[in-house]
Amino acid sequence: MRVIVLVGLALALGTSDAAAPTEPLRVNVKLVVRITPIDGPTRGVGFTGRVIGRGEHQTTGFSTDDSLCARRLKEIDAAPSITASASPLRSARGLGDIVFTHQRRVDVVVTSVEIDRIRLDVVTDRDDAGRTTREVRHLVLTEGEPHLLDVIEAPVTSAPLAAGAQPCRVASTTLELVASIAESEALEREVLDYDVWLTDHNASGREVTRHLTRDGRQGEQVTYRFQSLRWRLFDLQPTASAPINLDQSISGSIRGRVRADGTIDISLITTRDVAWLWKSAPGTGSTGDGGDKQFSVRPGEPVRIDLPPTRGSAAVPGPDGRLVPLKFDDVFGGHQMSLIVTVTRRL
């Protein structure tokens, strides 16, 4: 059985155990426009999308007027900078003489792709009534999670879009970037089965286990949550006299993707919560930590992921109201918690 150590979130991106892909992964890059009305919920009003590979660009132009009611969104083949001008761009459409005072040009290039971590270089050129700026971001996005690029706010009062029209009631417009892996036609219908064990060994060798199974489509992020592990504080730390129980809950998500050579890329996210409770007042408080890991496996190959020791401290109010200091390094000293993950392709 292969053993992998789960590290903290700050280190996870630099410690992947994934092998180099047999064929380059391509990325579906979307620029999403959302508006927030003054008297309603935020909603999407448009997007552009393109599938690109490493080193390729996706460029989008977006324009809106001061009221944020008139909008124009389009893909652009090239990505020159916006030329500053005292005269804002005017719409070729009807609806009167609309002046697009806010213009954006967003150029995205993929620099690398690793399982579900997508690295992008993003250049945003802004022109607000002739005031131009440029912003460059180097992003690492988790597949499917939106990244906020820009917010444009309307004036306190907005004029009607045209004579006789109702006043525009948009408070703000946002631009979001979303990236996801473009699945190959040959593998997009794959279904993966996940068999996951949680084990905890203490210093005396006693083992406590939990088990669950999940399944998901190719590239789908599947959530999991184990039944919590419960200990009496006295059993963990005999010097403690407070009648407090401690619960450890392990949850997270797993995403798998089959490669053309049959190996499976895995992205595993794990969160650990420690809650303290007593009989008369259950669920009185908690603290937590987490981490993630990316690795590659063969179908049916079990992989053990060792979680780092439970760390931190808390001042826990006991049943009598007094604070009980807990150092989790001492309380859970000698415990090793692990996940054992086996992934198979459903035939």
pLDDT, position 146: 95
Mark whether 332 and 235 lie in a shared domain: yes
Single pTM value for the model: 0.76
Instruction: Name the pLDDT band for 79 (thresholds 50, 70, 90).
Output: very low
Least confident segment among 67-71, 130-134, 322-326, 329-333? 322-326
Domain boundary among 144, 164, 181: 181
Closest residue by Cα to residue 221 from 160, 297, 169, 143? 143
pLDDT tens readout for residues 87-112? 343 444 454 568 899 999 999 999 99
Report how far residue 150's alpha carbon sits from residue 104's, in angstroms, rounded to the nearest whole number: 9
Residue at 97 is within a domain: yes
Domain tally, the chain: 2
Q: Are residues 303 and 341 in the same domain?
A: yes
Give the per-residue pLDDT at 289: 75
Residue 234 in any domain: the answer is yes
Same domain, 157 and 243: no
- Specify the higher pLDDT residue, 249 or 312: 249
Distance CA(271)–CA(314), nearest Å, equals 18
Residues 54 and 200 in one domain: no
Based on the domain organization, do 71 and 171 belong to the same domain? Answer: yes
Q: Are strands 2-5 and 303-306 parallel, antiparallel or unpaired?
A: parallel
In a domain, 22, yes or no: no
User: Going by C-beta distance under 8 Å and a sequence separation of 6 or more, which residues neighbour residue 149?
Assistant: 31, 106, 122, 124, 137, 174, 175, 176, 177
- 282 inside domain: yes
Residues 266, 124 share a domain: no
Round to the nearest angstrom and report the end-to-end CA distance of the chain.
24
Biggest CA-to-CA distance, the chain: 81
Residue 21 lies in a domain: no
State which of 130, 161, 181 marks the end of a domain.
181
> 98 with 46, same domain?
yes
| pLDDT tens per residue across span 271-287 | 998 887 766 555 455 56
Cα-flanking dihedrals φ and ψ of residue 309, to 5°? -60, 150
Are 143 and 35 within one domain? yes
Instruction: Give the whole-angstrom CA distance, residue 63 versus residue 70.
Output: 8
What is the average per-residue pLDDT within 315-332? 77
Q: Which of 145, 165, 181 is the last residue of a domain?
A: 181
Q: Which two tokens stand for residue 146?
A: 């939106």
Residue 340 belongs to domain spanning: 2-16+186-345
Question: Which distant-in-sequence residues (6+ apart) come within 8 Å of 207 by Cβ?
Answer: 199, 200, 201
Residue 228, in any domain of the structure:
yes
